[in-house]
């Protein structure tokens, strides 16, 4: 059997994880199984639960493994990652040339993060436009409520239009681009079926928390989709017939706008009754325009859905925080999920839940590298894979999965 180089990658919140240190149970088990033909190296990253820290760790892991390949061209290269260390290990293998030189990857209790763009029943672009306009309309309502019709000047409205809408437009597009970039950097590599071993325990706390947050965050699409469909069904029922309520509402809005404008521009000696009469005439012209804009064109539906979209942003952001603070801003644009395996067909072993050992591992999530059954499975798989790997040659075969 050729020499083995094993790269160890710790998980989140564990920059000094004992299992990657000399003398750990995992290292001792591999040394007993492989003898003197094993060499260990570790990837020391911050362990912070941030995407940018994990991306830096991916680069460090790729560089470390590539350097090991250069130093040991005939050795079988393996990577063992715990928790998010597994995602880092897979991210390092997005380099196809490097992936071909790695005999295998072992992921212990890894929640595999997948990112996809949210879809809103084909209304994505219109909904985003309405969400961008919603802050500007909210600013108008606040200005009117704060200063009143008599004290509010057109300059306030104009200023809010000039400042708020471009800001919200730029913010939405910046977040969308950031979400696309994050999704691109988080893609998983295409690996062979026998190149990945996944080991996990039942009752894994970290996976359960991330899955629960992802599930709650995923409800935004069916929620907005359901509201959209209900509104569409209502519009379908009222098609080709006028609604007296809508006409009255449009007329009232048209009259209020006309009354406000004319009241400000009217001559000082013009009576209030004269202002009302002129406003009614002008409102008669504005009413149909309001009706066509809000109801016939479906604008009101998109504005209401866009407002709901904006209001849901903080809640969805909080639900995506366990994946990393960067996910807070993009939660409404990209959905992040924690899966038991990457897409594809892999060798997966599920072990019974453990409550810790004499040294006191408090969480099932942290027990993988201490469980004798897990260590036995890791040693057996690495020994078998190393024996099957041709020395000094890239491993071939077709990809079984990828992201």
According to DSSP, the residues that pair with 5 across neighbouring strands are 39, 77
CATH code at position 29 = 3.40.50.1820
Which pLDDT score is estimated for 242?
54
> Do residues 153 and 9 share a domain?
no
Whether the pLDDT of residue 85 is over 70: the answer is yes
Span 16-45, average pLDDT: 94
Residue 147: pLDDT band (50, 70, 90) is: low
> Do residues 233 and 93 share a domain?
no
> Do residues 152 and 191 share a domain?
no
Which pLDDT score is estimated for 72?
93
Which pLDDT score is estimated for 219?
80
According to DSSP, the residues that pair with 127 across neighbouring strands are none
* Number of compact structural domains in the chain: 2
Strand order in the sheet with 38-43: 38-43, 4-9, 76-82, 102-108, 196-201, 347-351
Residue 42: pLDDT band (50, 70, 90) is: very high
Which pLDDT score is estimated for 43?
97
Span 113-127, average pLDDT: 68
Percent of the chain clearing pLDDT 90 (strictly above)? 38
Whether the pLDDT of residue 308 is over 60: the answer is yes
pTM greater than 0.85: no
Is 395 a member of any domain? no
Q: Which residue has the tokens 């190149």?
A: 195
User: In sequence order, what DSSP letters do the residues of 6-28 get, joined into one string?
Assistant: EEEE--TT-TT-GGGSTT-HHHH
Q: Which of 4-13, 118-127, 344-353 shows the lowest mean pLDDT across its residues?
A: 118-127
Q: Which tokens go with 399?
A: 């990809």
Is 203 a member of any domain? yes
Whether the pLDDT of residue 52 is over 60: the answer is yes
Which pLDDT score is estimated for 307?
72
Whether the pLDDT of residue 223 is over 80: the answer is no
The alpha-carbon radius of gyration of the chain (Å, integer) is 30
The domain boundary residue, chosen from 293, 308, 334: 334
pLDDT in tens, 262-304: 555 555 555 666 656 665 655 555 555 555 555 555 666 666 7
> Do residues 46 and 155 share a domain?
no
Q: Which tokens go with 394?
A: 């890239």
Higher pLDDT: 193 or 8? It is 8
Whether the pLDDT of residue 3 is over 80: the answer is yes
> Do residues 24 and 171 share a domain?
no
Is 79 a member of any domain? yes
> Do residues 149 and 290 share a domain?
yes
Residue 116: pLDDT band (50, 70, 90) is: confident
> Do residues 100 and 159 share a domain?
no
Q: Which of 23-37, 118-132, 353-367 shows the lowest mean pLDDT across its residues?
A: 118-132
Whether the pLDDT of residue 389 is over 80: the answer is no
Whether the CB-CB separation of 168 and 132 falls below 8 Å is answered with yes
What does pLDDT average to over the chain?
A: 79
Higher pLDDT: 137 or 43? It is 43
Higher pLDDT: 43 or 130? It is 43
Q: Which of 18-32, 80-94, 319-333 shows the lowest mean pLDDT across its residues?
A: 319-333
pLDDT in tens, 337-359: 899 999 999 999 999 876 544 44
Cα(88)–Cα(13) distance, integer angstroms: 14
Is 398 a member of any domain? no
Is 16 a member of any domain? yes
Percent of the chain clearing pLDDT 70 (strictly above)? 65
The domain boundary residue, chosen from 316, 334, 352: 334
Whether the CB-CB separation of 279 and 258 falls below 8 Å is answered with yes
Whether the pLDDT of residue 403 is over 50: the answer is no
Cα(384)–Cα(104) distance, integer angstroms: 11
> Do residues 168 and 70 share a domain?
no
Cα(338)–Cα(1) distance, integer angstroms: 36
> Do residues 232 and 243 share a domain?
yes
> Do residues 17 and 141 share a domain?
no
Is 400 a member of any domain? no
Is 8 a member of any domain? yes
Q: Which tokens go with 12?
A: 């989140």
Is 130 a member of any domain? yes
Domain span at 278: 124-181+220-334
Whether the pLDDT of residue 373 is over 80: the answer is yes
Which pLDDT score is estimated for 312?
75
Whether the CB-CB separation of 53 and 45 falls below 8 Å is answered with yes
Span 352-370, average pLDDT: 70
> Do residues 54 and 136 share a domain?
no
Which pLDDT score is estimated for 401?
42
pLDDT in tens, 187-200: 889 899 999 999 99
Residue 146: pLDDT band (50, 70, 90) is: low
Q: Under the phi-then-psi rule, with left for phi > 0, alpha for psi from -120 to 50, and beta for the rest, what region is 342?
A: beta
> Do residues 135 and 246 share a domain?
yes
For residue 332, count CB atoms less than 10 angstroms from its CB and return exposed for 0-12, middle for 13-18, buried for 19 or more.
buried
């Amino acid at each position: 059997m050729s020499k083995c180089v094993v790269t160890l990658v710790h998980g989140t919140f564990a920059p000094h994880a004992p299992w990657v240190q000399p003398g750990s149970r995992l290292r001792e088990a591999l040394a007993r199984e492989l003898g003197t033909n094993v060499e260990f190296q570790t990837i020391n990253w911050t362990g912070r639960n941030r995407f940018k820290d994990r991306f830096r760790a991916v680069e460090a892991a790729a560089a470390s493994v590539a350097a090991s390949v250069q130093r040991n061209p005939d050795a079988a290269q393996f990577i063992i990652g715990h928790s998010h260390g597994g995602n880092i290990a897979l991210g390092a293998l997005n380099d196809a040339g490097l992936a071909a030189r790695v005999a295998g990857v072992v992921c212990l209790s890894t929640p595999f993060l997948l990112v996809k763009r949210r879809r809103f029943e084909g209304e994505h672009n219109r909904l985003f436009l309405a969400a961008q306009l919603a802050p500007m309309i909210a600013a108008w309502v606040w200005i009117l409520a704060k200063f009143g019709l008599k004290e509010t000047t057109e300059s306030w409205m104009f200023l809010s239009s000039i400042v708020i809408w471009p800001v919200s437009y730029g913010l939405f597009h910046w977040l969308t681009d950031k979400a696309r970039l994050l999704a691109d950097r988080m893609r998983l590599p295409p690996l062979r079926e026998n190149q990945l071993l996944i080991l996990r325990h039942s009752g894994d706390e970290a996976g359960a928390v991330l899955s629960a947050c992802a599930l709650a965050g995923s409800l935004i699409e069916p929620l907005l989709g359901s509201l959209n469909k209900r509104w569409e069904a209502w519009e379908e029922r009222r098609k080709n017939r006028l609604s007296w309520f809508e006409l009255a509402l449009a007329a009232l809005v048209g009259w209020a706008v006309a009354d406000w404008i004319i009241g400000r521009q009217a001559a000082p000696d013009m009576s209030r009754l004269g202002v009302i009469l002129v406003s009614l005439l002008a409102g008669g012209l504005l009413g149909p325009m309001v009706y066509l804009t809000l109801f016939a064109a479906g604008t009101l539906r998109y504005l209401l859905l866009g407002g709901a979209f904006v209001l849901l942003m903080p809640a969805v952001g909080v639900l995506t925080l366990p994946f990393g603070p960067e996910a807070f801003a993009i939660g409404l644009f990209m959905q992040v999920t924690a899966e038991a395996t990457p897409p594809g067909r892999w060798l997966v072993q599920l072990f019974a839940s453990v409550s810790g050992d004499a040294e006191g591992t408090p969480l099932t999530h942290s027990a993988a590298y201490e469980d004798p059954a897990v260590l036995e499975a890791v040693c057996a798989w690495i020994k078998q894979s190393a024996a099957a790997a041709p020395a000094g040659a890239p491993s071939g075969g077709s990809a079984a999965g990828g992201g």
